[in-house]
């Protein structure tokens, strides 16, 4: 069963990232079902959900790493499966567990990814220098990545994501396993990207991050969207005081629908 | 495909690889150290062994009384042995058995036989290296100008014993010549020439470099191939599974590079490293021969030229081999999620490459039109030739073209694998699933590929050991026990124990009427059509020796014992028809069907079927028949057509060979005998007459057409039945 709605006109509504009825299934499991989503320029949208909810699958389809089973995803109007190359060129992708090449220095890694984006060498050098300056990477820009601390590596990763100045950023749990200093540094980078007019989609299961950053939030659980809207809308809908509470209620509801017996843990917190 | 992107990937991968110490060690340092050490070590060991043998004193235990004159000859040798000759010492051992009174002209003399046991003991305890047996009447016979026999007992497998025998034999020959001269002196009417009708000289005319090249050609190509393989191994794993393990593969996939560009960049890196490794090895090898070997003792024996031309030609031949290895290893390693997993997956690939390489050691394996088409083996053979002979241009090009072909093929496969999303991400699917034992799909318990392969291997081992054992005890009963007890019964028990769906596993459906018809037609004609084709092909590839044909006839109950026809049919046609079908077209095919396409399944099952018949001469014919049997069973989705075809095929083959053999044609009758309906059987090697043959071919083709028409829609059903259903 394939149902595709026509994509909304990107330029008019300023939508840079869009998903329509996006679905991904594997031989024995449906990882994501019917995701509708739009992120406009200068907007940060959070994808919230517990582990295994389908967040990473969704983001990977935006990044053209996975092909949707049905539905469509587009970056700046380019379909991620049929125009993957163009879509990828508009995109910076970062995840918490992304590693860098151990035997390359951050500067060499930037050069490499610049070339993969088909940039001129002169442009790559100037962009890299600017990013190294801005992210404070001067001390370690020419050391091999295997010598760097986790925080330094993640900074290098951010630089790698931004080297081609993409209009769209996709961040898959970018702060996972980072200390608080680097974590907040990344959050600041996201705010700054928003200020620069980029569209940012990021996934997390940390409520405070979502609360702090997101203009809108999409909550997914077991591959399905259970709620979408601004923080206040979600809170109002669930009658919860905090976003965390709202989230738990939303997720708890879905659990109740799927399994007839009450999930004691969820319902306990919900009260 | 944008070349500059591929180039960017290539440059980065190369940079990273060069910065990896492991690669550098394998690529450069190992070869630079390996060859000089290997050569020096090899030559030292060789010269040490030779000198040790020369320094040794050959102990000869004498049984009986040595004739006086012979004692003098042997003693004279002991006084002044030449530098390269063995010094012999005669012994009279204490527990020496009595010498035989007389010896006939037969070596199989019972008196001598009685001594071998004692000789074994003597050699085992190194009391002596050989035993010289002299009959009691030797002296007397010599005196009256009669012939006397002398026997040397030695063990060919012991180096020292062999050396002593050689020396002793030479001395005895010179003694014999001396006796002849003495006798001639008594008869002035006879000239010396009378006893010397022939002077025989043999001289090894191989030039020194060829002699050396012959030796080096057996060892060095193997090492060179292994080093190219090793050179490709580390980067191939590092750039695929290694990249996944480190978590950088996903980063790379989010960059706007097409899979093809990524593969080419990586592939070129692996290829370059492998080639660089080959170059380093060649250079080191040449240098080692040029400088290290020179001046070592025994130089004249082993020295040979590896000149610039040879190096150049070897290098040229290594290019497609490096391409092939790079593509092959990457195609396999990309399935793995980690370094360790990749190493596990690559072990069989390694074995697969080494097996043809070791075949170089088999006697008579030469570079021919056929072997030039066998990848890897062809290059090893070519390099062996290049080191001892002037190059043959046609072989050079043939090998090059063949290997370029294989490498392109491997590359195409690698590209296809790379462009599959699941494999690159290392998530679902892939080789891991194929090897995993997971008998339940959608609630129905089915055989898995892992199960099929395991069952095949176990059956093969059981057949090799238990099967041959019981068949040696009694052919007819042994066959029956093997088929029913060792093959069918365990298969049935296994299917029950694993609670597999027996109907699905064994395809226990009845075929349509036309399915039966096709099986019967093919069964009646395949022995002639396929048999002839197979024997033609077999002769082209690997001619069957006559001894094997006789052995085969014996194994099929067509030997000396005349078994009644019904018994032969029961044991060699009905029972294998049932038992082997349940194993191959049943359980083994059931596991492979869901994961492979139609022809891959058929070919793999047939190949296993061929291998199962154990002999290297039977793989090809059995596989060809297997293809038809498998095809019929697969198409009709029924094991019964397979059983029927198998039974009929075996029965016709058996009866034809038995009855055409029992009345051998007289030699003067021309081979074309119109009255004979039966065609010569394939393994008799006689040509088949075309008029009769063409009828068989037409019928055979008709059988195939009936089969395909009758089962047009079936195979798809079969596939979907086995593949997991779509999720709702």
Residue B480 has pLDDT above 80, yes or no: yes
Is the residue at A138 inside a domain?
yes
**What pLDDT, on a 0 to 100 scale, did the predictor assign at position B413?**
81
Q: CB distance B255–A101 less than 8 Å?
A: no
Is A76:A168 a contact under the CB 8 Å cutoff?
yes
**What pLDDT, on a 0 to 100 scale, did the predictor assign at position B215?**
60
pLDDT for B150-161, tens place per residue?
Answer: 888 888 888 788
Are B190 and B334 within one domain? no
Is A218:A45 a contact under the CB 8 Å cutoff?
yes
Is A39:A16 a contact under the CB 8 Å cutoff?
yes
Q: CB distance A95–B250 less than 8 Å?
A: yes
Q: What is the mean pLDDT of residues B482-508?
A: 88
Indicate the pLDDT class of residue B79, thresholds 50, 70 and 90.
low
Are B189 and B291 within one domain? no
**What DSSP line would sit under B400-430, residue for residue?**
HHHHHHHHHHHHHHHHHHHT-HHHHHT-SSS
Q: CB distance B5–A28 less than 8 Å?
A: no
Of B5, B246, B421, the CB nearest to A116: B5
Q: CB distance B246–A108 less than 8 Å?
A: no
Strand partners, A30: A25
Domain range enclosing A126: 100-165
Are B542 and B416 within one domain? no
Of B8, B421, B428, the CB nearest to A112: B8
Placement of tokens 């360790």 in the chain? B340
Q: CB distance A88–B421 less than 8 Å?
A: no
**A112 at interface of B, judged by CB pairs closer than 8 A:** yes
**A150 at interface of B, judged by CB pairs closer than 8 A:** no
Alpha helix ranges (H) inside B98-145 = 110-124, 138-143
Indicate the pLDDT class of residue B106, thresholds 50, 70 and 90.
low
Residue B342 has pLDDT above 50, yes or no: yes
- Please give the DSSP secondary-structure letter assigned to residue A37: E
Residue B436 has pLDDT above 70, yes or no: no
CATH value at residue B178: 3.40.1710
CB-count exposure of residue B727 (10 Å: 0-12, 13-18, 19+): exposed
Q: What is the mean pLDDT of residues B314-336?
A: 87
Residues whose CB falls within 8 Å of the CB of residue A243, separated by 6 or more in sequence, listed in order: A207, A210, A211, A217, A231, A234, A235
Region of poorest pLDDT, from B87-91, B100-104, B368-372, B674-678: B674-678
Q: What is the mean pLDDT of residues B24-45?
A: 76
Are B72 and B36 within one domain? no
Is the residue at A267 inside a domain?
no
Which residue in chain B has the smallest CA separation from A97? B247
Residue of A8, A72, A50, A45 whose CA lies nearest to A229: A45
Structure tokens at A140: 């370690």
Is B112:B133 a contact under the CB 8 Å cutoff?
yes
Is B58:B86 a contact under the CB 8 Å cutoff?
yes
Residue B129, phi then psi, degrees to nearest 5: -100, -20
**A48 at interface of B, judged by CB pairs closer than 8 A:** no
Residue B614 has pLDDT above 80, yes or no: no
**What pLDDT, on a 0 to 100 scale, did the predictor assign at position B146?**
82
Report the Cα–Cα distance between both ends of chain A, in Å, rounded: 40
Residue A39, phi then psi, degrees to nearest 5: -125, 125
Region of poorest pLDDT, from B353-357, B494-498, B603-607: B353-357
Q: CB distance A100–B248 less than 8 Å?
A: yes
Q: CB distance B12–A85 less than 8 Å?
A: no
CATH value at residue A172: 3.40.50.300
**A175 at interface of B, judged by CB pairs closer than 8 A:** no
Q: CB distance B15–A108 less than 8 Å?
A: yes
Is the residue at B618 inside a domain?
yes
Q: What is the mean pLDDT of residues B544-554?
A: 74
Residue A267 has pLDDT above 50, yes or no: no
Residue of B56, B76, B57 whose CA lies nearest to B174: B76
Q: What is the mean pLDDT of residues B677-697?
A: 56
Interface test with A, best of B251, B252, B419 (most A CBs within 10 A): B251
Residue B605 has pLDDT above 90, yes or no: yes
Are A105 and A120 within one domain? yes
Q: Which residue has the higher pLDDT, B654 or B303?
A: B654
Indicate the pLDDT class of residue A169, thresholds 50, 70 and 90.
very high
- Please give the DSSP secondary-structure letter assigned to residue B85: S
Are A224 and A123 within one domain? no
Indicate the pLDDT class of residue B444, thresholds 50, 70 and 90.
low
Residue of B250, B238, B708, B243 whose CA lies nearest to B517: B708
Is B710:B514 a contact under the CB 8 Å cutoff?
yes
Residue A226 has pLDDT above 60, yes or no: yes
Are A44 and A86 within one domain? yes
Size of interface A-B (CB pairs under 8 A): 80
Which residue in chain B has the smallest CA separation from A64? B254
Indicate the pLDDT class of residue B46, thresholds 50, 70 and 90.
low
Are B567 and B599 within one domain? yes
Q: CB distance A27–B428 less than 8 Å?
A: yes
**A55 at interface of B, judged by CB pairs closer than 8 A:** no
Are B245 and B127 within one domain? no
Structure tokens at B19: 């910065």
Strand partners, A202: A46, A171
- Please give the DSSP secondary-structure letter assigned to residue B372: G
CB contacts, 8 Å: A66 with chain B? 421, 425
**What pLDDT, on a 0 to 100 scale, did the predictor assign at position B578?**
92
Chain A closest-CA separation from residue B16 CA (Å):
6
Is the residue at B671 inside a domain?
no
Averaged pLDDT of chain A: 81
Q: What is the mean pLDDT of residues A233-261?
A: 67
Structure tokens at B385: 């030739």
Residue B664 has pLDDT above 50, yes or no: no
**What pLDDT, on a 0 to 100 scale, did the predictor assign at position B107?**
65
Indicate the pLDDT class of residue B209, thresholds 50, 70 and 90.
low
The residue among B428, B444, B462 that closes a domain is B428
Q: Please say whether the dihedral angle defined by the alpha carbons of residues B191, B194, B196 and B199, taken in this order, is positive or negative.
A: positive
The residue among B195, B218, B247 that closes a domain is B195
Are A83 and A36 within one domain? yes
Indicate the pLDDT class of residue B700, thresholds 50, 70 and 90.
very high
Q: What is the mean pLDDT of residues B691-719?
A: 77
**What pLDDT, on a 0 to 100 scale, did the predictor assign at position B685?**
42
Indicate the pLDDT class of residue B135, thresholds 50, 70 and 90.
confident
Residue of B266, B275, B277 whose CA lies nearest to B327: B266
Are A38 and A154 within one domain? no
Indicate the pLDDT class of residue B679, thresholds 50, 70 and 90.
very low
Tell me the CA distances in angstroms from B550 to B211, B539, B555, B558, B596, one per residue in order: 38, 17, 9, 9, 39
- The Cα–Cα gap between B215 and B372 comes to 21
Averaged pLDDT of chain B: 78
Of A30, A98, A160, the CB nearest to B727: A30
Chain A closest-CA separation from residue B325 CA (Å):
25
- The Cα–Cα gap between A170 and A92 comes to 6
Are A197 and A78 within one domain? yes
Interface test with B, best of A95, A99, A170 (most B CBs within 10 A): A99
Tell me the CA distances in angstroms from B280 to A56, B30, B35, B323, B435, one per residue in order: 46, 9, 11, 17, 37
**What pLDDT, on a 0 to 100 scale, did the predictor assign at position B213?**
57
- The Cα–Cα gap between B251 and A158 comes to 12
Is the residue at A77 inside a domain?
yes
Q: Which residue has the higher pLDDT, B386 or A155?
A: A155
Q: What is the mean pLDDT of residues B543-568?
A: 76
Among B172-176, B212-216, B491-495, the range of highest mean pLDDT: B491-495
Task: Provide the number of structural domains found in chain B.
Answer: 3
**What pLDDT, on a 0 to 100 scale, did the predictor assign at position B295?**
52
**What pLDDT, on a 0 to 100 scale, did the predictor assign at position A126?**
94
Is the residue at A253 inside a domain?
no
Could you give the angle at which helices B339-358 and B377-386 cross, rounded to 10 degrees?
Answer: 50
Strand partners, A35: A22
Q: CB distance A28–B727 less than 8 Å?
A: yes
Domain range enclosing B287: 3-45+208-428
**What pLDDT, on a 0 to 100 scale, did the predictor assign at position B668?**
39
Is B402:B373 a contact under the CB 8 Å cutoff?
yes
CB contacts, 8 Å: A95 with chain B? 250
- The Cα–Cα gap between B327 and B136 comes to 74
- The Cα–Cα gap between A200 and A42 comes to 8
- The Cα–Cα gap between B64 and B41 comes to 45
Placement of tokens 């020959």 in the chain? B173
Task: Provide the number of structural domains found in chain A.
Answer: 2
Placement of tokens 């009905």 in the chain? B574
**What pLDDT, on a 0 to 100 scale, did the predictor assign at position A201?**
92
**A11 at interface of B, judged by CB pairs closer than 8 A:** no
Q: What percent of chain B has pLDDT over 90?
A: 12
The residue among B172, B195, B218 that closes a domain is B195
Among B558-572, B643-657, B673-687, the range of highest mean pLDDT: B643-657
**What pLDDT, on a 0 to 100 scale, did the predictor assign at position B81?**
53
Q: CB distance B251–A98 less than 8 Å?
A: yes
- The Cα–Cα gap between A128 and A141 comes to 10
Residue B395 has pLDDT above 90, yes or no: no
Is A199:A43 a contact under the CB 8 Å cutoff?
yes
């Amino acid at each position: 069963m394939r149902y595709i709605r026509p994509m909304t006109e990107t330029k008019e509504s300023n939508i840079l990232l869009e998903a329509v009825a996006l679905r991904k299934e594997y031989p024995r499991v449906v990882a994501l079902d019917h995701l509708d989503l739009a992120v406009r320029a200068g907007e940060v949208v959070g994808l919230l959900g517990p582990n295994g909810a389908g967040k990473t699958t969704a983001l990977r389809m935006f990044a053209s790493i996975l092909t949707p089973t049905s539905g469509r995803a587009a970056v700046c109007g380019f379909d991620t499966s049929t125009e993957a190359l163009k879509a990828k060129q508009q995109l910076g992708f970062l995840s918490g567990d992304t590693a860098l090449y151990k035997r390359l220095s951050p500067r060499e890694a930037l050069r490499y990814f610049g070339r993969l984006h088909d940039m001129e060498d002169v442009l790559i050098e100037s962009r890299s220098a600017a990013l190294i300056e801005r992210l404070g990477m001067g001390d370690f820009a020419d050391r091999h990545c295997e010598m760097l601390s986790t925080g330094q590596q993640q900074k290098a990763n951010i630089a790698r994501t931004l080297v081609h100045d993409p209009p769209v950023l996709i961040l898959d749990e970018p702060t996972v396993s980072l200390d608080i200093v680097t974590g907040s540094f990344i959050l600041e980078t996201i705010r700054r990207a928003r200020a620069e007019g980029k569209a940012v989609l990021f996934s997390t299961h940390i409520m405070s991050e979502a609360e702090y950053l997101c203009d809108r939030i999409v909550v997914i659980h077991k591959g399905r969207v259970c709620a979408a809207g601004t923080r206040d809308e979600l809170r109002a809908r669930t009658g919860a005081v905090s976003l965390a509470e709202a989230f738990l209620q939303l997720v708890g509801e879905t659990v109740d629908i799927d399994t007839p017996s009450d999930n004691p843990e969820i319902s306990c917190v919900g009260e | 495909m944008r070349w500059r992107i591929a180039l960017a990937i290539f440059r980065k991968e190369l940079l990273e690889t060069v910065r990896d110490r492991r690669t550098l060690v394998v690529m450069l340092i190992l070869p630079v150290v390996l060859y000089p050490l290997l050569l020096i070590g090899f030559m030292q060991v060789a010269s040490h062994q030779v000198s040790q043998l020369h320094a040794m004193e050959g102990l000869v235990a004498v049984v009986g009384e040595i004739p006086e004159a012979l004692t003098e000859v042997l003693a004279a040798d002991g006084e002044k042995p030449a530098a390269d000759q063995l010094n012999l010492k005669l012994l009279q051992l204490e527990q020496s058995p009595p010498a035989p009174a007389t010896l006939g002209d037969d070596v199989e003399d019972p008196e001598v036989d009685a001594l071998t046991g004692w000789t074994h003991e003597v050699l085992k305890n190194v009391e002596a290296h050989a035993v010289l047996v002299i009959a009691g009447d030797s002296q007397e016979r010599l005196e009256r100008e009669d012939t006397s026999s002398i026997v040397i007992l030695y063990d060919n497998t012991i180096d020292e014993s062999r050396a002593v025998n050689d020396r002793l034999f030479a001395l005895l020959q010179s003694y014999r010549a001396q006796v002849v001269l003495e006798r001639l002196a008594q008869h002035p009417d006879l000239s010396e020439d009378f006893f010397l009708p022939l002077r025989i000289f043999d001289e090894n005319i191989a030039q020194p470099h060829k002699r050396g090249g012959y030796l080096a050609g057996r060892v060095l190509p193997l090492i060179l191939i292994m080093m190219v393989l090793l050179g490709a191994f580390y980067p191939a794993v590092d750039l695929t599974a290694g990249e996944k393990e480190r978590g950088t593969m996903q980063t790379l996939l989010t960059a706007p590079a097409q899979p093809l560009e990524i593969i080419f960049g990586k592939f070129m890196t692996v290829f370059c490293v492998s080639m660089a490794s080959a170059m380093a090895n060649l250079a080191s090898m040449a240098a080692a021969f040029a400088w290290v070997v020179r001046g070592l003792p025994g130089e004249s024996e082993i020295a040979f030229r590896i000149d610039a031309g040879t190096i150049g030609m070897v290098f040229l031949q290594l290019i497609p081999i490096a391409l092939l290895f790079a593509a092959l290893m990457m195609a396999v390693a990309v399935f793995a999620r980690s370094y360790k997993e990749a190493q596990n997956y690559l072990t069989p690939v390694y074995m697969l490459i080494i097996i043809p390489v070791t075949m170089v050691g088999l006697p008579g394996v030469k570079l021919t039109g056929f072997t030039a088409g066998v990848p890897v083996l062809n290059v090893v053979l070519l390099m062996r030739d290049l080191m001892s002979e002037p190059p043959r241009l046609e072989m050079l090009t043939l090998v090059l073209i063949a290997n370029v072909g294989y490498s392109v093929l491997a590359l195409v496969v690698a590209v296809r694998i790379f462009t599959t999303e699941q494999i690159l991400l290392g998530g679902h699917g892939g080789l891991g699933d194929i090897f995993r034992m997971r008998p339940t799909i959608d609630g129905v318990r089915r055989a898995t590929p892992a199960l099929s392969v395991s069952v095949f291997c176990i059956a093969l081992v059981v057949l090799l050991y238990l099967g041959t054992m019981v068949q040696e005890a009694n052919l007819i009963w042994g066959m029956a026990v093997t088929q029913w007890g060792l093959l069918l019964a365990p298969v049935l028990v296994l299917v029950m124990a694993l609670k597999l769906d027996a109907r699905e596993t064994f395809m226990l459906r009845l075929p349509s009427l036309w399915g039966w018809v096709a099986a019967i037609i093919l069964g009646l004609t395949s022995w002639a059509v396929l048999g002839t084709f197979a024997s033609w092909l077999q002769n082209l590839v690997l001619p069957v020796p006559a001894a094997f044909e006789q052995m085969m006839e014996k194994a099929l109950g067509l030997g000396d014992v005349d078994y009644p026809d019904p018994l032969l049919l029961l044991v060699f046609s009905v029972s294998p028809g049932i038992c082997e079908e349940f194993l191959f077209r049943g359980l083994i095919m059931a596991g492979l069907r869901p994961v492979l396409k139609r022809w891959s399944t058929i070919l793999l099952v047939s190949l296993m079927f061929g291998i199962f018949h154990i002999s290297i001469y039977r793989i090809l014919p059995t596989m060809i028949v297997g293809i038809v049997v498998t095809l019929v069973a697969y198409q009709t989705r029924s094991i019964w057509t397979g059983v029927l075809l198998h039974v009929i095929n075996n029965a016709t083959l058996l009866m034809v060979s038995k009855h055409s053999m029992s009345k051998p044609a007289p030699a003067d009758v021309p081979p074309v005998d119109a009255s004979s309906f039966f065609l010569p059987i394939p393994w008799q090697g006689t040509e088949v007459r075309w008029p009769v043959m063409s009828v068989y071919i037409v019928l055979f083709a008709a059988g195939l057409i009936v089969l395909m028409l009758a089962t047009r829609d079936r195979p798809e059903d079969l596939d979907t039945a086995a593949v997991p259903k779509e999720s709702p």
